[in-house]
Each structure stands twice: as structure tokens, then as C-alpha cells.
Amino acid sequence: MLDGLYSAVLLFGAPGTGKGTQGNVLGGLPGFFHLSSGDIFRSLDPNSAEGQEVRQYSVKGELVPDELTIRIWEKWLEGRIADGNYHSDQSLLLLDGIPRNVAQCEILESHIKVLSVLHLASSDDQSMIDRLKFRAILEGRPDDVREDVIRRRFEVYREESAPVLNYYSNEVVANIDPLGTPAEVLSRILDAVIPVQSSFLDKSSK
């Protein structure tokens, strides 16, 4: 933790750009801790109050309200610190799916210091839609099979999430082509994030 804040790298992009895939790979490397809001939401007990509340938004392709999102995120992160899985002085917090809008960026200012934004930038919606449908079949995600819900998620991304890029300085935003094999995309991400991680680890060791 630097300056009392968790040092973070954001994985950012439209639905289907591969944030989860790349986050899982990076999270398996020493010095990174992957935190996916989508994975956290899916891990909630569907019969719990929080699980039911999240579900009513996700099935429509809408964003979960900010207060609920941040509350669940904080609780989950605190749990990972308590069980010893995340050490803020040893690993960059790799955030996937949060912040989703400018209001969340503002709230998170008191929790994280964003060192880099890895923007998986694609202008080909149909390729991303096809990815989501294929993933839905493989992983049993019924909400992602419906094209109307998927297209609504893209609309929400453009209206609410895309402005997040303007919240952060251009100096920390790295635009990365998400098309190609996962290994090709990973190579582009590593080119952008290795210097950030090296600087973080150097400062943490002092």
C-alpha cells in the first residue's frame, strides 16, 4: 500500500473484450492480485439479500447501483486481506469490472491509487457479441445468451462506463487491441504493465 491507498491497475473495456481472461492469467503471476467484480457478484449466495439485489440488475444488462457495488467490493477485499491471500505491499490490485462509472471512480479515490488503465479497445461490437455468446454456452451463463441483453450491456457501457477513460490522465491509459489469440493480447498487456509493476515493487521495497 502506497500513501495509504491500494496500488491498482484497471482492466477496462467493453463487454467481451477479454478482461476476465486476461485478468485470470495476470492474477496467476506473482505481483498481481486479480479482483473481478463479476466473479464476486456470481459468487454471492443467490438466496441472500445482496445476491437477489445484484441479480435483478444483471439479468437486464444494467449496472449494479454504486453503493451496493462498493459495499460488496470492500467486504470481499477485506476478506482476502484477512485470510492472507492479498498483501498490498507485494501485489498490484488488478481491478476488472470496477470502477464502472465516474461516480465509482470518485468513491474509490479514498481506497485506491490507479497506476495504469489497460484499455482493451475494440470498435467491432459483433466480434465481442459472438465472444460473449460462445462463452455463455461454455460457462453456462444464461444471461449472456440473449442478444438483446448483450446489446443493452453495450449501450450501458457507452453511456456510463466509457467516460471513465476521461477521468484518468492520458499518461496512465494504455490502449490495447483485444483481437487475436489470448497469448497475443497478453503479450501486448505485459508490454504495458511490466514497467508499472517494476516501479511499484521498487517503491514498496524501500
> From CA 108, how far away is CA 202, in angstroms rounded?
24
> From CA 116, how far away is CA 135, in angstroms rounded?
27
* CA–centroid distance for 150 within its chain: 18
Where are the domains positioned within the chain?
6-204
Under DSSP, is residue 58 helix (H, G, I), strand (E, B) or coil? helix
CATH entry, 6-204, from 3.40.50.300, 1.10.260.40, 3.30.43.10, 3.30.559.10 = 3.40.50.300
Average pLDDT score over residue span 70-82: 92
Cell numbers placing 20:
476476465
What pLDDT, on a 0 to 100 scale, did the predictor assign at position 39? Answer: 87
What pLDDT, on a 0 to 100 scale, did the predictor assign at position 115? Answer: 97
User: What percent of the chain shows pLDDT beyond 90?
Assistant: 53
Given a cut of 90, whether residue 160 has pLDDT beyond it is: no
What pLDDT, on a 0 to 100 scale, did the predictor assign at position 46? Answer: 86
What pLDDT, on a 0 to 100 scale, did the predictor assign at position 79? Answer: 93
pLDDT averaged over every residue in the chain: 88
Per-residue pLDDT tens over the stretch 27-65: 999 999 999 988 888 888 888 888 888 888 877 778 788
Given a cut of 80, whether residue 25 has pLDDT beyond it is: yes
> From CA 68, how far away is CA 55, in angstroms rounded?
12
What pLDDT, on a 0 to 100 scale, did the predictor assign at position 2? Answer: 55
Average pLDDT score over residue span 102-122: 94
- The whole-model pTM stands at 0.84
* Helix (H) or strand (E) segment spanning residue 81: helix 66-82
